[in-house]
Structure 1
């Protein structure tokens, strides 16, 4: 039986079942012809300007004369070889004009193979603000389908809107337009946008630097409000456009406002009181009574402006307290302090707020059984935990609660740790506690260690402030430029300890300008020093320089910078540029490894021969891209437990690693050699210049300045 004859089985099971399936699946906007000798094509996927067919009392609104589309298919495949069936579409639109007379137009598309989209563009002379209906039917060259508007379908409807909405008006009670210095950094404000046009269904907005977004009014044509918190007191601008239901956009409204600088803490205790004091003076808020277990005049975190701290002995008398809350914990707030735990094997509280029966919030240290200790910030029943406390190590803790987002966050040393937690605010009017927390049976989790500069804010602490609060300015320990030598040593630039030169080490000064090679052919050519007026030249056999003591505390954060150059012909074996030894191994070794064509930093995890090592490397030429050496920098950040190796001011993923516990080495700084199982080895055959050493971790911006003749500007 041919394909043609199969299509004319009008009373068989095939046609009956196809019709049942087709008619049973019909939906508004899709129509199918009744049973005929030849099954008619099918119309489906009707769209008005790429919006699904809208029927009834909810027409689609369009901002221009629309494109109407429909997909035409055939319920039975045509298997006539070489003569495939083609389908065309007839679109019809109609409306009532201003006099009530019906206007109707028809458009027919050219034939195309089945399952293709057919489209027509509605002429631009159609009336605006008028409901226009349309339907479509298909023809296979033999028979038409039913109109798509016939039952169970319905006519599609749209309204052409030729007017854009009016630009919105923006207002804010906290940040009035063109008003100088209102609100403040970290203080939320409401911004309401309202267009006079009655058909606006969305506002698109954006602040300078973000965020950007959209917001919908609760009812068509109504206003919409967003919340925003300034992160700096630079002039701010909010740009808004209204979008109506047809998709037409209004002009842009720019709203400029000027936030005040960030407000000071509502409560603050520096804890820098004189030894023997029984109270802690308040920079803001109430003075705090001190228990007998509190000693003032304690140590301070290096690189901070703190002058002293309070030491709490961990006993029932080691606490400070006020009669009232430090901050309203029922609203957005933040609390923070510098802390140094004397132990990490038990839970200890830094700051907490009493309620009638417990605690509203607590910032401290948790030490679960069989788990690693972590810093914590708890609010109500929620808790954020992260970071790794270490006994005797300073850390800056900051807990933040944002009522706008409902999230509690914890920052350690300027970095967010853990996962922000959803929390409900807890309003409290009890006492504020430093060094303990209230439990069901009295106070517990008493702090043992040092606490300094306790602060409480009634606003968000913005990212820049988080970094600044935890900032520790590195301290320059030494800078050697290798410009001169006397009595077998080369001086430190600022009068510190000199480096003693071993046999095979000398200061190279470069050309003396007594003759010019470009003019005098008999004048020998001599290269210039790596940096400045001279550099250290090492012979690769015994040449080295040594300091009489360690240059950095390798158990704490430190930075080392050096310029080094090795000629390609000499790069045949590993050679050490800088090292500092412990009792059994080097605490660090900065070397060149020709097998990987990379500068390499090796830091053993313990002061043991054969201890596991953390290794990072940077692939680059040993002479540097300009032939004037490579500017190398090593940065160990004990606060974040990371070590980085920089080459010419840059680092990468392969040159960054986790190093959880640095250890303090006691050996002197070695230049040009490192310790081996057989004694000193890996002697450097090459040149070294501009060694700079810092207590503390320099940031990326400051690393750029290392390797110059002057100390870099430390702006952090």
Structure 2
């Protein structure tokens, strides 16, 4: 269907000149997403020859270079240091005393710096200032260079852009995220003359030149008609351009403009404001020929105006009609202007196309109320144009608007500054200009009639210093914008629009000119974390409760709390403190508030405060706490729907709380006999280490004690003294290294309970007694212990440097996770420590190993410790049962039997498996774990201590070593304490093990290999999905791949890629990641899935760009139709169309039942999963679609790269390493 559009205006827009109807200026200055020049504009020039404009006065983002295809884009000047991860950046900032840019958070228009004081600074630029080329950031540069085939293009732009080098090649081809648009001149083109960012095609028609101006985000093109006679050529009545698109549809845009939208999603990819034409105004015949004007004429820097950039003074303008019919775009120049004898030649016809992005800028002019000056090039005016200059051409008043991202939810804004470059003032007298927080946003159709209200005044200044050009670093005028950014945080605005206007818009001497290069620098601090209710206790009183469960205490309690700040960990420099509020209501019902501020401690420390003795009795007292840093206080502990305030009642007549003692864990408390615990910041004991706890009471009629560990006393936890009032004791072992809480309550003969006594103990995790990663390179002769204390010497029959468990089934070439291979010969193939008795096998101990068994015909031992006649223990494979086994001989005597526990299921050959063993000396139980799952336990009825070396790959028995391991081993560890379930879970499931990595750089037929392609799963490219891997030598102007040498292109219709079998283990912890680029900074009108894994009728997970225009993670609760789902999303880091794309990662921690969604290396959202029973999606990994109700849909239109899948939980630093602009195959 043909589209016919005439950009007409109302009668009020017309001027009568010499009795002929003429159109007044209706010029829109830049287009928002430009197919850059789709609408090549016509210009008519009066002089017979066109002098190329002097480009040297034009500002460029980077220095121009000669048109030389061999000249590479220069690397970004490393004026400030960069470190890839946030932790590295903070550490380096402290070392050097200067801010350091965080590489993981770099973008085309964004910088984030770690400051030495632990705060951060984010800089959001309105205009892109850098792009990625060949794995490094380089400055944007629109300078045109020539390729080997004669075509020309910009050196470093944000989209693929190629111009004709002459002949029958298309005039221009634009690429963005797998979509493209081509414009073709109806005839052969001459070889262009190239000058900076401009290409001039001379005499495309008699006395008509075609000029193309290139910007880093788009282009414009202008026909230059040199004589009135040339204007009468029939070709100028209707200008037909060949139009070809792939994945795009060109249609009506805003306010009479055009838009190239994604064919499937409808999201705008390129935009052009309504095209216009103008004459030469008051210029003389010798004025330089120009491309279409991109700014409204005014008295700015009137001398030396390049008509390629702006309409000259006094120019008349008229709209251009347009029509699309199939593969033809027809421009309809205003014939009245072309035939009017008063037209002043040349005339310029100008459509401008640019790409779309979340940052934006636009000028509006009261004299041209229907005109859009969106994304103007160079500079524009602010204020009332001084008519005495003779150059205002009725422009009237001007304002400039800038839209800048404000993704700072959860941050405390310390300060914010808006900066922009000023290039012109009326004179040297200071005159005010004001910055406002505008009331609404802007678009490619913004004009004076529909402009946002200026809104809230932020600051007024009277600058006089000027710059000669616009660059990404020379912003010379700054305004305080702190209030606007804080308001954006409060109201959840992801983008904030600023307005720049003369304070007195009637004062023509206040006129100024500013660039489009505004930036917003935000200095912020992450808000201290909300204290966890589980880490709030009181002694006496126990854990934090409220309401009817509040405890009675006999003395004013000591309050305990753990406070944290995400910005101020041990690697940073600032501490945290607490603010405590406790209150009650007096007899008149008036609330009595009391505030207390603690001292400073390191983040994660335990704080305490003892309430004064004058607090009232027998009335509920409430207390709450918030953490603070040097800048701000975080949320109160009661805020939100999942936590409450803490309460108690003080009654001095209540039974006294008992005393708690422990020689191992509370040694400072031994000398006193009250319920109060002596403050002790020292770590005592350790996870997996038993201690004795003694409970005693000053009441002689106490007949029983109730106790709890990390909970208030429970009825089932009861100890009875041998006589009333006597002490009791028990043995207890911490299983977590967080602060642990012990609570005890005494009960007298009448059943009356005392106040709850509470003690908090700090428990460390004691590292393994010996830990051997076995990751040495091929040719090594020994394995180093993690702490360098207990090397293990290898026998002659071991092979170092083979593939480890992190390689999956990748084969022998995998080097990012290495292991050791054993032959099964116990005499030759082993490792043995030079140290002895690393663990006491008569007491608590544990062992852990990653194993891969290749021969199950006889017993195999992964790890053991030598005794005199028998091993102290063995962990390995039992051939008689065909199962994994943890065994301990009954004595250190030959062949007298022993105790063992075997796995429930048979051992699986040729597959990596995690084994762990633990012996609990108090319960006398032996426990075996397989891949983190506990197996049936067994009792050990005798205990003895082995005193020999640790053996890896064999065991000692009957005066010789036997049971040699056949296969591979990795990550062996032995513990001189009990190995607890949480640690086993972490060792087996939280360790990120790479299951698949697809760099998408190569393809064979319709399959792209997994990086370790010897045994890895390939991605099958289906229904037109294809790999884009440009030859940059042959086509230097092609859009570059996201990372490395290629990326996957998907059309959004039915393109997809998939594996043949499952990859992610969705019923356990997993991490998935990919880099994606959308053609538009919005998702359009539908969900688009980036990654998923299919079940039978539903997906195990879906990472998608949602129809609400945000990144989302969806976890269906079951493999059923219309299942319940957990949905988490990022409302701050919204989709963008930056050429480098966005990195997405999802981490599901099954142990903590926690989800984390990362966007560009930052945690966008952390949420608890609303269900605990994960299910295994046993279908293929899907790239570009998702399964729902038994059918596939949510097809992605865009490009994808660097697909990664891991089992286990990747930490924040690992995710930030994945965001590197260099491929990292070893991650």
- When normalised by structure 1's length, the TM-score is 0.51
Q: Alignment partner of 2:836: what SS?
A: coil
Quote the offset at 1:164 in angstroms. 7.0
Instruction: Indicate which of 978, 985, 997 corresponds to 1:477.
Output: 997
Query: Is 1:224 aligned to 2:728, yes or no?
Result: yes
Q: Alignment partner of 1:469: what SS?
A: helix
Query: Is 1:236 aligned to 2:740, yes or no?
Result: yes
Instruction: Indicate which of 661, 673, 693 corresponds to 1:191.
Output: 693
Quote the offset at 1:493 in angstroms. 4.2
**Taking structure 1 as reference, are residues 249 and 560 closer, same or farther at Cα in structure 2, changes over 3 Å only?**
closer
**Taking structure 1 as reference, are residues 356 and 434 closer, same or farther at Cα in structure 2, changes over 3 Å only?**
same
**Contact 1:492–1:498 (Cα < 8 Å) also in 2:** yes
Instruction: Indicate which of 1175, 1178, 1185 corresponds to 1:656.
Output: 1175
Counterpart of 2:945 in structure 1 is 427
C-alpha separation between the residues in 1 aligned to 2:830 and 2:946?
20
Query: Is 1:315 aligned to 2:825, yes or no?
Result: yes
Quote the offset at 1:412 in angstroms. 2.8
**Taking structure 1 as reference, are residues 618 and 328 closer, same or farther at Cα in structure 2, changes over 3 Å only?**
farther
Q: Alignment partner of 2:927: what SS?
A: strand
Query: Matched residue pairs, number?
Result: 451
Quote the offset at 1:492 in angstroms. 6.5
Instruction: Indicate which of 857, 870, 885 corresponds to 1:376.
Output: 885
Counterpart of 1:397 in structure 2 is 915
* Residue-by-residue CA offset, 1:237-280 (whole Å, 9 max, x unaligned): 32222112221222332223323x21222223333446444443
- Higher radius of gyration, 1 or 2: 1
**Contact 2:850–2:972 (Cα < 8 Å) also in 1:** yes
Instruction: Indicate which of 733, 752, 767 corresponds to 1:264.
Output: 767
Instruction: Indicate which of 788, 796, 802 corresponds to 1:292.
Output: 796
* Residue-by-residue CA offset, 1:662-703 (whole Å, 9 max, x unaligned): 9xx9xx9775699xxxxxx9885855679684232356999x
Counterpart of 2:414 in structure 1 is none
C-alpha separation between the residues in 2 aligned to 1:621 and 1:222?
55
Quote the offset at 1:209 in angstroms. 4.2
**Taking structure 1 as reference, are residues 277 and 474 closer, same or farther at Cα in structure 2, changes over 3 Å only?**
closer
Quote the offset at 1:635 in angstroms. 11
* Residue-by-residue CA offset, 1:618-668 (whole Å, 9 max, x unaligned): 52599x999x9xxx999999x99xxxxx9x996979972497xx9xx9xx9
Q: Alignment partner of 1:302: what SS?
A: helix
Gaps of 5+ in 1: 1-162, 506-536, 571-575, 580-587, 602-614, 641-645, 675-680
C-alpha separation between the residues in 2 aligned to 1:698 and 1:167?
45
Quote the offset at 1:362 in angstroms. 0.7
**Taking structure 1 as reference, are residues 363 and 191 closer, same or farther at Cα in structure 2, changes over 3 Å only?**
same
Counterpart of 2:974 in structure 1 is 456
Question: Map of 1:695-706 to 2, 5 A cutoff?
Answer: 695-697=1205-1207
Instruction: Indicate which of 773, 783, 789 corresponds to 1:280.
Output: 783
Q: Alignment partner of 1:263: what SS?
A: coil
Instruction: Indicate which of 850, 869, 872 corresponds to 1:357.
Output: 869
**Contact 1:341–1:392 (Cα < 8 Å) also in 2:** yes
**Taking structure 1 as reference, are residues 472 and 237 closer, same or farther at Cα in structure 2, changes over 3 Å only?**
closer
* Residue-by-residue CA offset, 1:189-212 (whole Å, 9 max, x unaligned): 111011122222111112324784
Quote the offset at 1:183 in angstroms. 1.8
Query: Is 1:167 aligned to 2:657, yes or no?
Result: yes
Quote the offset at 1:312 in angstroms. 1.4
C-alpha separation between the residues in 1 aligned to 2:788 and 2:851?
20
C-alpha separation between the residues in 2 aligned to 1:196 and 1:653?
45
Question: Map of 1:14-413 to 2, 5 A cutoff?
Answer: 166-175=656-665, 176=667, 177=669, 178=678, 179=680, 180-209=682-711, 212=714, 213-259=717-763, 261-273=764-776, 275-282=778-785, 283=787, 285-302=789-806, 308-316=818-826, 317-322=828-833, 324-368=836-880, 373-380=882-889, 381-386=898-903, 389-413=907-931
* Residue-by-residue CA offset, 1:520-541 (whole Å, 9 max, x unaligned): xxxxxxxxxxxxxxxxx21xxx
* Residue-by-residue CA offset, 1:122-166 (whole Å, 9 max, x unaligned): xxxxxxxxxxxxxxxxxxxxxxxxxxxxxxxxxxxxxxxxx9754
C-alpha separation between the residues in 2 aligned to 1:636 and 1:256?
31
Gaps of 5+ in 2: 1-652, 670-677, 809-814, 890-897, 1001-1024, 1032-1037, 1102-1117, 1132-1143, 1152-1156, 1158-1166, 1222-1226
**Taking structure 1 as reference, are residues 559 and 306 closer, same or farther at Cα in structure 2, changes over 3 Å only?**
closer
Q: Alignment partner of 1:467: what SS?
A: helix
Q: Tell me how large the CA RMSD over aligned residues is.
A: 5.6
C-alpha separation between the residues in 2 aligned to 1:495 and 1:551?
25
C-alpha separation between the residues in 2 aligned to 1:621 and 1:468?
28
* Residue-by-residue CA offset, 1:153-194 (whole Å, 9 max, x unaligned): xxxxxxxxxx97543222110112433222223222111011
* Residue-by-residue CA offset, 1:359-414 (whole Å, 9 max, x unaligned): 33110122336xxx43221123322222554333323322111112211112233x
**Taking structure 1 as reference, are residues 419 and 243 closer, same or farther at Cα in structure 2, changes over 3 Å only?**
same
**Contact 2:1029–2:1041 (Cα < 8 Å) also in 1:** no
C-alpha separation between the residues in 2 aligned to 1:165 and 1:231?
32
C-alpha separation between the residues in 2 aligned to 1:286 and 1:362?
19
**Contact 1:267–1:455 (Cα < 8 Å) also in 2:** yes
Instruction: Indicate which of 1055, 1062, 1068 corresponds to 1:544.
Output: 1055
C-alpha separation between the residues in 2 aligned to 1:329 and 1:285?
20
Q: Alignment partner of 1:237: what SS?
A: strand
**Taking structure 1 as reference, are residues 257 and 673 closer, same or farther at Cα in structure 2, changes over 3 Å only?**
closer
Q: Which is further off, 385-394 or 239-248?
A: 385-394
**Taking structure 1 as reference, are residues 164 and 567 closer, same or farther at Cα in structure 2, changes over 3 Å only?**
closer
Counterpart of 1:49 in structure 2 is none
Question: Map of 1:434-449 to 2, 5 A cutoff?
Answer: 434-440=952-958, 442-449=960-967
C-alpha separation between the residues in 2 aligned to 1:553 and 1:468?
23
**Contact 2:886–2:900 (Cα < 8 Å) also in 1:** yes
